[in-house]
Amino acid sequence: MISALNRLQPLNGNKIILFFCLLIQFNGLIAQNSTYTKDTLQLAVLMPFCSKEILVDELSPKSALGNACRSYFEGFKLGLDSMSKNGIHLTVHVFDTKNDTNYFKQLLKKSEVLNANLIIGPVVAAGQQLMKTFSNEAHIYHVSPLLTLTKSKIEDPFLVCMNPDLESYADIFLKQLYLAGNTDINLVVYSGKGKNDKIISNRLNKIKSEYPGFSIQCLDIAKNSNYKNYYNLNKTNLVWIDSENEFQVNSTLKLLADTNQFIDVHVIGNKKWLEYNAINYPLWKHLDVTLLSPYFLALDTKITTNCIELYKEIYNKEPDEYAISGYDQALLLIDNLANNNGVFNPTKKQNNTVLVGSEYLIGPKPNNKGYQNNYLNQCKFDDAFNWINASKTSK
């Protein structure tokens, strides 16, 4: 299955209706000494905007997904416009897949899709599964732009996931720890009983032999009091709480903060915790709570300010996470295509593209066919309770 990283915002009055195919052309002047190809790049966007359903009923079951896709495309379009001003010729064919499997199959037969340099979409798991056959025949890379693959195993060498698969969080975080110079870690992972709560712990059990200096134990969060049997004063103590249950998480945090039993414990958590009814900020600060996320918006940069102001000017609203991701991905993906003669290269290093809300380290998936972003931000509150990115590894 596929899960969203955060709650979707409701559709507001600023409607965009995407009919069967919306053709957008961006024609920029070719800059002197440009490293970009002068050929027109062809993009196909295949996303479930669900425009007609939302127009009829803003509370339609498809509205959350459609609204996320619309926000993404609004940001993506801003990014495309920016790249066209750098001298890149773009033709973009936009299709509303309607979140309809049969209709999606028909779209894959369109010449605009078959002749694309890159396909943005699909979004949901059913569409990704259908793309496997298409990829084997067409050999066109396609981007999963928004959501995080959880339990779905999609063996597609032409799939590029812009958010890491959930089980890959284990690989990415351990590697980040190791590259940051940590070689003596005592890691205890608590798993809950949610539908996705054991994915990371199961993966950690498979790869822990690759990190002989790390002590890794996976436990049931319902038995969190057993932590005293695994706490080690001679190592750096990390506790990864792989659960979204607010009561269980808060109970575990209070236990770990008991200075009569434990000192200097560092907690790794889930981004969903930010949606809790109440956050005990001093407790989080005491336990150095760090949330792993592929998304982080640095508000103190000029490019971020410019992007947000431009988006507000055009769409009369604040950009959400999906819009910012769309903007960043447009810059990253078009730069890749333009510098490789229109052929997407998933192993190419990022060409100094300054992004707004994301870090991308595209490379092979560690345990599956295809490619993904192998970077996670380590987000936490600082001493003044500002939300910061504390990642110590660089791309």
Q: Is the pLDDT of residue 20 over 90?
A: no
pLDDT category at 170 given cuts 50, 70, 90 is very high
Q: Is the pLDDT of residue 33 over 50?
A: no
Residue whose tokens read 């790869």 = 207
Alpha-carbon torsion angle 100, 103, 104, 108, nearest 10? 180
Q: 243 and 195 in contact (C-beta within 8 Å)?
A: no
Q: Is the pLDDT of residue 124 over 90?
A: no
Report the chain's mean pLDDT, rounded to a whole number: 86
For residues 294-318, one letter each, b for 16 or more C-beta atoms within 10 angstroms of the residue's C-beta and e for the rest, the string is bbbbeeeeeebeebbeebeeebeee
Q: Where are the alpha helices (DSSP H) in 246-301?
A: 246-256, 281-286
Q: Is the pLDDT of residue 301 over 80?
A: yes
Q: pLDDT tens digits for 217-272?
A: 999 999 999 999 999 999 999 999 999 999 999 999 999 999 999 999 999 999 99
Q: Is the pLDDT of residue 341 over 60?
A: yes
Mean pLDDT, residues 334-345: 92
Q: With pLDDT > 90 as the criterion, what percentage of the chain qualifies?
A: 63
pLDDT computed for residue 192 by the predictor: 84
pLDDT computed for residue 352 by the predictor: 64
Q: Which range (219-233, 251-265, 305-319, 381-395) has the least confidence?
A: 381-395
Q: Is the pLDDT of residue 299 over 90?
A: no
The answer for 70, left when phi > 0, alpha when psi is -120 to 50, beta otherwise, is alpha
Q: Is the pLDDT of residue 57 over 90?
A: no
From the list 200, 202, 231, the residue with the least C-alpha distance to 215 is 231
pLDDT computed for residue 214 by the predictor: 94
Give the separation between CA 260 and CA 283, rounded to whole angstroms.
15
Q: With pLDDT > 70 as the criterion, what percentage of the chain qualifies?
A: 88
For residues 194-203, one letter each, b for 16 or more C-beta atoms within 10 angstroms of the residue's C-beta and e for the rest, the string is bebbbbbbeb
pLDDT computed for residue 21 by the predictor: 52
The number of helices, as runs of H, and strands, as runs of E, in the chain is 11, 17
For residues 55-94, one letter each, b for 16 or more C-beta atoms within 10 angstroms of the residue's C-beta and e for the rest, the string is eeeeebebbbbbbbbbbbbbbbbbbbbbbbebbbbbbbbb
pLDDT category at 160 given cuts 50, 70, 90 is very high
Give the number of other Cβ atoms within 10 Å of residue 144's Cβ: 27
- Residues with Cβ < 8 Å from 171, sequence gap 6 or more? 203, 207, 366, 367, 374
Dihedral sign from CA coordinates of 293, 178, 220, 152: positive
pLDDT computed for residue 5 by the predictor: 36
pLDDT computed for residue 357 by the predictor: 87
Dihedral sign from CA coordinates of 50, 53, 54, 58: negative
Q: 330 and 92 in contact (C-beta within 8 Å)?
A: no
Q: 112 and 90 in contact (C-beta within 8 Å)?
A: no
- Residues with Cβ < 8 Å from 266, sequence gap 6 or more? 236, 237, 238, 239, 287, 288, 290
pLDDT category at 35 given cuts 50, 70, 90 is low
pLDDT category at 394 given cuts 50, 70, 90 is very low
